[in-house]
Structure 1
Amino acid sequence: MKKLFVMMLMVCLTLSAFAGGSAETGAAEGTGPIKIGSIQDLSGGASTAGQPNAWGAEYAVKVINDEGGINGRMLEITTMDCKNDAAEGVMAYRKLVDEVGVAAIIGPPLSNPAAAWVELSEEDKIPIVGHFMDEICTTNPDTGEPYPYMFLAEPSSAIQSYCMAEYALTKLGAKTSATLYNPGNAFAKSQAAPFVEYWEEKGGSVLTEQTFSWSDKDYSAQAIRIANANPDVVFVCDYLPQNVTSYDALRDAGFTGPIIGANTLSLPFANMVKNNVYDVYFLQNYDMLNPEVGIFYDLVTKHMQETDTAAPAANVGFGWDAVQVLVNAMRAAKNPADGEEVASLLEQTDGVMLSSGSTITIDPATHRPSNMGMYIADYDENLDLRIVDFIKVN
C-alpha cells in the first residue's frame, strides 16, 4: 500500500511539473519580448540606402519600447546584412528565423533579395514589411494573387514610374524620351518598363532604350547613342553608384536636357558627380527638409547627428515607416508573435500614420498601398534639395 502511495505521488508530481512548465512557457510567450528582424544592405552596393534604413527601423523600435512596447511587451530587433545579394539575403533570413526566432521581418528597399523570400515567408509564416518596390515581390506575376506574407510600405515601381513620366510630360513639356538602366537590377527594370509603357500610352515617343550590366564601369557608348537621338529627357532609375556613372556619361556625351529618375538621384548624388548638376528631377517619398510636415525632418536631423552623416537620407523614413505598419498589425493581434494572424491584419492596414505626415492603406488585393503619391524634387543653385511638385496617379 505504501509502495502504491509513493508511485501515485510520483505520478502527481510529474504531472504537476509538466503543468507548471507549460504554464511558464505560456507566460513567457505572452509577456516576453517580441523578436523581429531587419534585413538591409549594410556593406554592398546599396549600403548608402541600407544603413539609414536599418537606423530608422532600430530607432522606431526604441521609441515604441520607450512608450510601453506592444501591449506591454517589448520589441527586440536584430539587424542583418544582405550585402545587396539574393543568396546573402536568404542566409540572413534563415538565421533570423531559425536561430534568432523572429516573428516578423522588416525588409530592405531592394527587390532582388526580397523576391527570394516569397516562398520562404509562406512556409515559415513570417510577415515581411518593406520597401521592395518591384511588384513581383508582392504579387504573383502569373495569377495576380498577392503573396500572403509580403507587404509593401511605399508606392510600387509602376506607380512611381508613372508619376515621374506624368511630371515630365505635363510639367516639363517633354514629348520624347530615352532610358538608361541595368536590366539585371530588379529595382531598375521594374521602373523602366512601366515608364516606357506609360510614356507611349500618353502619346510620347521613346527614341532609344540603352542598357548596361553590373560589371560595366563605362556607359559612354550608350550615352553617345542617347545624345545622338536627342530626346527631350532621359530616364535613369538605378542605384546611386550607377546613377552617378550614368549622369556623368550623359553630360560628357553632350546631352544637356533634363535627366529624370528614381529617388536614388537624391542626395548624396549631387555631391558625387563630376559634372555640374542641373535639370535633374527625381522622385521623393518625403518632403525631406520641411519641419512642418510629419516627423520626417526630426528623424533625418537625429540620424545626421547620431551618425555624423552630412546629407539627409530618405531611407531613414523607410525603416521607421515599415516598423509602424508592422506594429499597427501586431497591436491588433491576440498574439503579436503569431505570423499568420499578423499577416491577416496587415492586409487590413488602413490610415496608419507615416513619418511623411500622410497615411497608408494597404490594398488586400495587391498587398501594396492604394492611396499614395510621390513628391518631385530637384536641386537649387547651392545643390540643396527642394520639392517642386506632388504627383498622384491611378
Structure 2
Amino acid sequence: MKKLWLLIFLLISMLLISACNSDSKSASGSNESDSDTIKIAGIFSSSGGAAPLGEPGLETLKMIVKKQNEEGGINGKKIELVTYDDKSDQNEAVLAMKKAITQDKAVAIIGGTISGNALAMLPLSEQNKVPFISTASSRQIHQKEDGTAREWVFKMPQDDSHAVEKLLQYLKEKGHSKVAWLNVANSFGTGAHAEFKKSARKYGIEAVIEDEFEATVKDAKPVLTRVKKAKPQALIVWGTVQETSVVIKNIRELAIDLPVLGSHGIGSQQIFNLAGDSANGVIFPGGRLIVADQLSDTDPQKEILLNYKEEYEKEFKKPVSLFGAHPWDGFYILVKALEEKGTDRAAIRDYLENNTSEFVGLAGVFSLSPKNHNGLTPDSLVMIKIENGKWVLEE
C-alpha cells in the first residue's frame, strides 16, 4: 500500500511540474519557435461595406510578407502574419485589436481600413504601447486635437486635410468659387468637412449648401434636389466607394449638369462596377498608383509604383487599388525599423518617428517626425478623372 501511495504521489508531482512549466511558457509568450519569428498583425475590413478598400489592403500585406520571407525574412527571422477581418464594424475592429495585442502579442499592427474603425482601435495601441500603423485617412488618427502626435500611432494615407487642400487648389484653378458640399455622415466625411470649412476661404471658395448622407444611403435624390436649387458651380461628394456610387448615380438620374468632384476614398476599381457609366467625368484627388504609367519618368515614385502594380496584378489577376498602397508603405517602413531595432516595441516606435526620412513609398515620399506621424503633403496627391472605366491624369 505504501508503494502504491508513493507511486500516486510521484505521478501527481510530475503532473504539477509539467503544468507549471506549461503555464510559465504560455505566460512569457516565448518559446523556441517564437524566437525564430516576428509576429505582425493585420486588421482589415475585408468584408462588409468597406470591403472594396480592405480587401486589396489585406491581399497586399499577405503578398509582401510572403515575398519578404522568401527573401530571408528580417535578420534571418521569418515574419508570422496574423490577420483579422473586422467586417467593416467598429466593435469587431476593437475586438481584433485586443486579440492582436494580448493573445497574439504582435510587435506591431497594420490596418484599420476606415477612419471610424482606426479611431476606435487606437486607444488600445496607446494604452498597451504597441506601434499601430493605420491605413485609414482621418488626420485625427495620428494627431490629437491640440496638434501633437499620438505617441504610438502612425498613418500611411494622405490626411483628409491634404486631399481637401488639393481639391480646393483645383477648384480655384478652374474658377469654381460657389460649390455644394455633401459628405458621408461618419468620421471620414465629417473630418473632411471640418477641413473644408477651415480652408475654403483661403482659396476663395464658398459653399452655397452643405449637407450629408448616410453611409447606407439608397436614395440621395432629396438632398440633391436641394443642391440643384442652390445653383452651385460644382458639386463635391465626399465619401468612399459604396455610398459615393449611389449619390453620383442619382446625380445623373436628376440630370444635374455640374462638375462632380469626389474624395480620395473612391480610387478603387469597384467604383466602375457600382456606379457604371455614371462615374464618367468624376474628378478626385488620388495617389499616383492608378495613373503610374502616365507619370513623367522623372517622378521618384514611378518605378516602385509600376513594380507593385505588376506584382499585384500578376498575383491576384485584377487591377491595383489605391488602398493596397497603404499597407505596402506601412510594412516596408516597419521592416526598416525591425532590421535596425529588433522586436522591442518602444525601439520600433522611436525608429519610426526619428529615422523615417525621404522614404519613397506608393502613397508619396514620407518624412516622419516627433510632431508629424504621417509625413506627407498635398503634393503626394494628383487630380484624376474617370473616363470610360479608366483613370486619367488630370494635371
CA-CA distance at 1:214 after TM superposition: 3.5
SS of residue matched to 2:394: strand
Residue of structure 1 aligned with 2:370, choices 361, 364, 367: 364
Change (3 A) 1:41 1:49: same
SS of residue matched to 1:68: coil
Change (3 A) 1:253 1:331: same
Tell me the residue number matched to 1:324: 332
Q: Deviations over 1:212-259 (max 9, x none)?
A: 224432110001111121211111121211000110122222321111
Q: Is the 8 A contact 2:122 2:132 kept in 1?
A: no
Q: Give the letter aligned to residue 269 of structure 1.
A: I
Report the Cα distance in structure 2 between the residues aligned to 1:42 and 1:276, rounded to whole angstroms.
26
Q: More deviation in 363-372 or 85-94?
A: 363-372
Residue of structure 1 aligned with 2:74, choices 61, 70, 75: 70
Structure 2: unaligned runs, 5 residues or longer:
1-16
Q: Is the 8 A contact 1:287 1:375 kept in 2?
A: no
Report matched runs for 1:97-112 at 5 Å: 97-112=101-116
CA-CA distance at 1:108 after TM superposition: 2.9
Report matched runs for 1:348-387 at 5 Å: 348=354, 349-355=356-362, 358-371=364-377, 373-380=380-387, 382-387=388-393
Q: Is the 8 A contact 1:177 1:231 kept in 2?
A: yes
Q: Is the 8 A contact 1:227 1:254 kept in 2?
A: no
SS of residue matched to 1:288: helix
Change (3 A) 1:29 1:140: farther
SS of residue matched to 1:347: helix
Change (3 A) 1:211 1:27: closer
SS of residue matched to 2:248: helix
Q: Is the 8 A contact 1:57 1:322 kept in 2?
A: no
TM-score by length of 2: 0.84
Residue of structure 2 aligned with 1:144, choices 127, 142, 147: 147
Report the Cα distance in structure 1 between the residues aligned to 2:347 and 2:380, rounded to whole angstroms.
29
Q: Is the 8 A contact 2:245 2:279 kept in 1?
A: no
Report the Cα distance in structure 1 between the residues aligned to 2:86 and 2:98, rounded to whole angstroms.
12
Q: Give the letter aligned to residue 354 of structure 1.
A: G
Q: Give the letter aligned to residue 81 of structure 1.
A: D
1:116 paired with 2:120, answer yes
CA-CA distance at 1:276 after TM superposition: 4.0
Question: Which structure: greater helix fraction?
Answer: 2
Residue of structure 2 aligned with 1:282, choices 262, 281, 284: 284
Q: Deviations over 1:45-81 (max 9, x none)?
A: 1101101001111222122222222222111111101
CA-CA distance at 1:87 after TM superposition: 0.6
Change (3 A) 1:179 1:306: same
Change (3 A) 1:118 1:290: closer
Q: Deviations over 1:122-165 (max 9, x none)?
A: 22221011222212211221x33221111011321111111111
Q: Deviations over 1:155-177 (max 9, x none)?
A: 2111111111111211x221111
Report percent identity of matched pairs. 22
Report the Cα distance in structure 2 between the residues aligned to 1:353 and 1:61, rounded to whole angstroms.
19
1:158 paired with 2:168, answer no
Report the Cα distance in structure 2 between the residues aligned to 1:297 and 1:208, rounded to whole angstroms.
40
